[in-house]
Structures are given as C-alpha cells and as structure tokens.
Amino acid sequence: MKNRKILSLVVLLLVSVNCALGQELKLNSLEYFETQGVNVLVYNNLFNGGFNDEKNAGIELIHHGVRTVQGGAVRLSNTPEQWDLVPKISDRKVNRASKTVEAALRYEEYNFDSRVVVTAKGKGVEIAVYLDKPVPKALEGSAGFNLEFLPSQYWQKAYLMDGRYNRFPRYVVGNNVTRPNSEKPKQYKGYKTADDRGTGRYIDPLPLETGRTFLLAPDDPARLVKITSPEADLMLFDGRMLAQNGWFVVRSLLPAGKTGKVLTWTIEPNAIPNWLREPNIGFSQVGYLPSQPKVAVIELDKKDKPQANSTLYKIGDDGQATKVFSGRITPWGNYYKYNYVKFDFSSVKTPGIYYIQYGNVKTNNFLIQNNVYDKITDATSDVWIPIHMDHMSVNEAYRMWHGEPFKEGYRQAPPNTDHFDLHAQGPTTDTKYKALELIPGLNVGGFFDAGDFDIETGSNISVVQNFVRTWESFKPVRDQTFVDQKQRYVDLHRPDGTPDVLQFIEHGTLNLVAQAEIVGHMTQTLSNSVLDNYHHLGDAASLTDGLPYNPKLGPYEVANDGRSSGVKDDLWAFTSRNPSLDLDAATMFAAASRALKGYNDDLSARALKQSKRLLKESTELLASRPQDSLGRRARADIATNLQLYVSTGEKQYVDRFQQLLWPALDRNVNIFLLTALDAVPHLDAAFKEKLRPYVVKYNTYLSGLEKDNPYGVPIGLGNWAGSGDVTNFGTTICFASKYFPEIIDESHAYKAANWLYGCHPYHNFSLVATVGATRPKAVFYGNNRADFSFIPGNVAPGLLFRKPDHFENYDDWPFFWGQNEGTIGGNTQYLIFGSAFKNLVK
C-alpha cells in the first residue's frame, strides 16, 4: 500500500510538472486554439446530417500531430451510434477579445436549444454549456455533454478517476443493462435501427468509472489530458459496446430544471515542451525505375529548421549500408499546417536496396529496379475484386471469404421510403411491382460497393466501364481466378483458361442488364431494408437467412417446406427512375457489348439493345432538365454516343459525339479530356489535330499544380479523400502523353504513382494494401474492418482534409470510411491507372 501511494505521488508530480511547462493556448487566425503540440478546434468541422456522426466533427483535439478527440456536443445517449441524432449547428461565433468560440446547437425534433462556449484558459480550455430553457422533460436523464477519445490512441494506457487507477481496455469490456424501448429518446428517422429480437428492450452501457477529476494517459505525455468538472460527475463509457466504431466517451448529464450556465468542464491537454513533429519523408514504397525522376517530399513542422542536405544509403549484399549520394534540400514552402522541402536523388540509377536519411530520421528500405511496377495491380485484380463479386461463393485456399449472398432476391422498396445510406424511394415505384413485392431475377452478378454489401448501381456502371477500358486498351490476359456462373462459385489463385477481366465484365453486366430488362430502367441501389443488416460485418451470406419473407409466418419462423421465413431481412430495390443514371448505363452497355462479343454473344446483344433503348429514353426525359454543374450528364451523353459509334460504326453517333464534345471541352477541359482521348484511336487525324489546343490547355493546368502543392497532383479537400482524383489524373496523363508526347510529359504520371505509394502528407505508407511491400497500409475500412485487417489490393481514399489545415490517414483505426474505405469504383479506377502506368513505363 505504501509503494502504491508513493507511485501515485510520483505520477501526479510528473503530470503537474508537464502541465506547468505547457504553453498557454491562443486563439489563432484560423479560429482554433493553439500552442505548439496542441490544437483545439471548435466546430471548424460540423456534423453533416447525412450519416450524422462520422467521428470527425465538433470539438476536436489534434494532440502532437494526431487527431485524438472529437464530438464535444450535447448528445442524447451515453454512447451515440453513427445514425443517432446530432445537433444542428445553427450559429458559430468567434470573439477574439474574450478568447471564446461559441456554437449554438439545436435538436429540431425536441425544440431543444443549447450553447457550447469554449474559452482559452491557461494551458487548456473551459467548455461551458448554456441553456435558455430547461432540458425538455423527454430528455431529462438523457441529454448530456459528450467528448469522445480515439480508442487506438488510448487503449492499454492508464487513467485515473479521482485518484483511482485503471487502464483503457484493448478490446471492449464493461457492463451493459437492458431498458425498455419506451425509455429511450427517439434518435432515428423512419427506419428500424436495432434488432431487439422482439424483446422490446435496448442495450445501455454502464460507465466504466465516475468522478470529478479524470486524468487520461499519465503514462504517455503525448496523450495526457486532464478533465475536471466542479458541478457534475464525469462518466467514462466504452462506445464499442454497441458498435465496433465506437470511441471512449467522457460524459456529464445536464441537470434538469436549470437554465443559464448549467455545466462546466476544464480540459488541459499536455503539451510536451519544445515538441517538434518528426519529419515525414514522403517517397514511393514500391520503389523507382533507374531512369525515372526520384524526388522525396519532406513534411516539416513549421518550427523545425530544415537540414541543408539529405543522404541516400545503399544496402550491400553483406547487409552493410553505404552512403552513395548526398544532395541539397530544396525549399518548397508552406502548405496548410506544415512546411515542405524536397530531396532530388534522380541521379542515382544503380539497381539495389536503399533508404533515405534526413537528420535523425531514417526511412524503411525501397528498391531501385527495372521491374518495381510489374505487379502493382495484381493484388487488386487477383484478390480484392473477385472477393467483391456478389451472388457468388468466394473461396481462397483454406478460407471462405463469403458464401452465396441474397438467395432470396430483392423486394420493391415502398414509395416514400428514406434510406440510411442516403437513398430514397419516391412517391411511386416507377415499376410494375407493388410495394414489397419480389422482383424476380435481380439476384445475379454485380459487385459489393465497398465495406458494405449493397449494389450501388452508379458505382457498378462505372466499374464495368472501367473493366472495358482496361480490356480494350491493354488486353490483360492475366488468369488467376476461377469463375463459374452456373455454380455461382469463385476460387482465387486458380486459373480457368479465361482472362479474369473478361469474366469481371460479364459478372457486372449480368446484374445491370437484368435491372434494365426486368425493372425497365436502372435501379438506384439494391440495398438493405433495415439498419441492423446494413452495418453487418463478416460473411455477406449470413446477412440474411436466404429465404424469401413470408408475412403469413411469425417472426423468425420457417415454413414447413423450408422455402420461406418470417424474417424481414430481404433486401430492397430502390427503383425511382433517374434518366442520368440510365444515360450512364447506356454508355457502359455499348462498351460492354463489344468486349463480350465472341465470349458471351447473348449478353453482348442484350447489352447493345439496352444501350440504344436507354439512350433514346433518357435523352427524351432529360431534354427539359438543366445540366448539372459538374457536367456529369454531358460527359455521359458524350461518352454514350462515342461508345455506340465504336460498337456500331453508325455515323449518327459520331456526329452527335463531336457536336457535344467541343463545347464541353471549352467549358472544362479537365473534366472532358479523358473522354476525348478515348476517341483518338477510333477517329481520324483531323480529330486529333482539333484536340491539340485542349491538350495544351491541360498542360497549363499541370504547371499550375506544381505551384498549388508540393506534390504536383490534384489534392481533394472534401469529406472523401482524393485518391480517386489522383488515379483519374494519372490515367489522363498516361493517355495524353501517349497520344501527345510532345505536349504532355510522362513525368506527371510518376507523381500520381508516388502519391499512391507513399509520397503524400501525414505518413509515408502506401495507400494500396500489400503494394509497397515494406510499408503498405495495414488497416482498411472493408467488410473485415472489425478485425483491424485489410483485403489485399484495396486502395484507400487517402489523405482526408479536416478544416482548416489538417490532413490525416489513420492506420490504427479503420472505421473512417472517407480515408480508409476502398470502393469497387475506386479500385477498378486504380486498375486502369495501374495498367496504363505499366504500359507507359514499358
């Protein structure tokens, strides 16, 4: 006991010393609180109201370079889940004189308003909650202030609550109770959210600890945070009790019947004295060709003085490292939060194993070799893509990735139905089918969209188009996958005599042609009817029972003949007609019909028939509608006519293509150039010459990218990171430099590859799973994300931008889809880029 008291005194003394040395937080020009090593953001990023809580909004703490805290809002449950209600931020005020940021929060559903005021207070901030009216009766005991801490940054670290020691658990532990559903505030809109198996009760986690002074991670100064509350208990919850993507939640209930300043917390994040973020040396984990440009981009803390030189070491056959090159560091300048310099070692051409040394920072090793890019698409085409084939069992050696999903088929979504994945069924079905009627024949082909198991029709359309472009441009004969449509069976690493890409085209077209023929147009999506199915993780075949729902049976009852059940788990077809989507499908069908000719002639003919029909019908439906601002409809119209011309040779299509193309290029050459380049092999020299000025204009855009950011590629700043922008950019470069090498330098394509394989902000991991064998990302948002694992060949969206100046990509927490979720559209877009890039370097 005596030793324990001494240890407690030592820990608290260390904490007080660390905190005393911290610098005061200042409200900076970007409207967040800052000192070296600590940033406190206050509603710079808002809850979006779509997926509600994406764990990247509210009050956020970026602690020694890592965003470890988010939320910071009045919430209605102990451990809110993703689709729980979030407050609308109706107003945000910054007062520099009083050093405060204030946000007005409102729950329309309860006519409940509150204000959260954050004030700089010494080494930390004070967070206060104000109410002009008392908490509504319906929310008493439910409304509280929550702040959430990222589990992967705190598990296995210690914490103290009022001097009591404990550790944050690596895996979810704790106690729950069940309560009547009537006691829980209404959190959701229009759909079931928890499968209670008929009990009429819900799960409510109990706190792990309760007290007034909470010290997180006293054993790790980089994550040490102190929270005190003078008038309310602090409760610690583990949000992973209800959802694998839950965080550790610190919460205080709002008092009933009170107004004014009803709650106060003081939060003191520790700032390590003289802390500097370690330089991030961005380079290609895949390696480099001897002849290519080789430039590392080094990301530095703005207070870090750049080194004069950087060094390249070569590892010899005896295992010894030898300095082979030392070069001057070239300044680039500031880009958002950090300063950037470059290290050019292009002159090093000898094949071998190398690493970069910058100051005290040493990278992992990489290769310089003529074959470094030969296998960059293999994992994606051999593993990730076939695993995402829907309506098939997929096996790999001793492992069954999933059984055959959704044998029961799809039912017509009822009119006026909202969907949790941002779809909606309109006021009618737009089909001959009645609400909840089985639509026969849709359970064939298609690809899972991403980390979930729905068929997003728009994505699947682009996927087939991506496969066709890959097939027609590069004729990849790689055959490593056994596909049997009759058995509905796929076996990885087992050649079957047919090029895999051709089988992928067939599989995607089967579902999309079925939609066009059976529904009459393209569905919006084939997706889950209830949320408990949608957030399912694991084997897709276990998501439903495989039996059509029979309303004559009781809940969970199976018919005597074993052919139906009383389980309402059947997936729905959302069928509101979107003529723009039909136009996209017409483009894809025209292209797929060519690729399938001679392999599956029946499907080829059906695809061409649907292309012509959908082009005619969608053109008529769209005639009276304005163009969208991004030109998607125009691009689809242009591309459809091009694909139909290539498929049929009919002059009407090429005339219409050219009629639409040139005005579109005048409006935005970046959007339409790749479609124009697709036409070069099929049209005459006059077309190519007319296209030349637009390629020159695109080259001007490339020069601007060099000035825009230190990486020279388009960097996305939205809620979905920008790997797709980079792969599309790289693909455009590959084709433009092929047809116009005198204008477009192929070196820009290397920049795209470098970005994907490690030369980017935040860290230098390859964004493609298993590609860049030394250090690819190891954790992704896939359907196996609960295992903190990955599916080989997955391509991460990449570096997610958090306003006003922070890029991030977590490799220890998979549940951020905007930065970690590979999609079938994005991964097949990568397949095109990788194929085009390999062709370019050869």
Report which of 25, 232, 212 is spatially closest to residue 119, judged by C-alpha positions: 25
SS3 of residue 790 by DSSP? coil
Residues near 345 by beta carbon (within 8 Å), at least 6 away in sequence: 294, 295, 296, 312, 325, 327, 356
Give CA torsion, residues 316, 322, 327, 331, to 10 deg: 80
Q: 422: left (phi > 0), else alpha (psi -120 to 50), else beta?
A: left
- Encoding tokens for residue 679? 């036409």
SS3 string, 262-289, reads: EEEEEEEECCCCCCCCCCEEECCCCCEC
Distances, alpha carbon 732 to alpha carbons 209, 373, 572, 673, in Å: 55, 18, 37, 8
Provide the residue count of the chain.
Answer: 842
SS3 of residue 508 by DSSP? helix
Report which of 380, 401, 504 is spatially closest to residue 794, judged by C-alpha positions: 380
Cis peptide before 714 (omega within 30 of 0): no
Cα separation, 507 vs 498, in Å, equals: 13
Q: Residue 801 — φ and ψ, nearest 5°?
A: -95, 125
Cα separation, 825 vs 449, in Å, equals: 8
- Encoding tokens for residue 653? 């299509």
Check: CB of residue 142 under 8 Å from CB of residue 160.
no
Cα separation, 825 vs 459, in Å, equals: 5
- The number of helices, as runs of H, and strands, as runs of E, in the chain is 16, 41
Long-range contacts of the stretch 650-658 (C-beta < 8 A, 24+): 654/683, 658/687
SS3 string, 84-147, reads: CCCCEEEEEEEECCCCEEEEEEEEHHHCEEEEEEEEEECCEEEEEEEECCCCCHHHCCCCEEEE
The sign of the torsion formed by the CA atoms of 593, 597, 600, 606 equals positive
SS3 of residue 487 by DSSP? coil
What percent of the residues of the chain are helix, what percent strand, and what percent coil, each to the nearest 5?
30, 25, 45
Q: Which residues are catalytic?
A: 812, 821
Angle between helices 723-739 and 824-841 (to 10 degrees): 30
Detail the DSSP E strand segments found in 442-527.
455-456, 481-484, 489-492, 525-527
Could you identify the residue written with the tokens 């990849």?
476
SS3 of residue 412 by DSSP? strand
Cα separation, 821 vs 406, in Å, equals: 23
CA angle 183, 187, 188 (to 5 degrees): 130
The sign of the torsion formed by the CA atoms of 660, 666, 671, 677 equals positive
Angle between helices 747-757 and 824-841 (to 10 degrees): 130
The alpha carbons of the chain give a radius of gyration, in whole angstroms, of 28
Neighbours of 100 (CB within 10 A): 19
Residues near 624 by beta carbon (within 8 Å), at least 6 away in sequence: none
Neighbours of 171 (CB within 10 A): 8
Detail the DSSP E strand segments found in 751-808.
800-802, 806-808
319 DSSP 8-state letter = S
Q: Residue 282 — φ and ψ, nearest 5°?
A: -85, 120
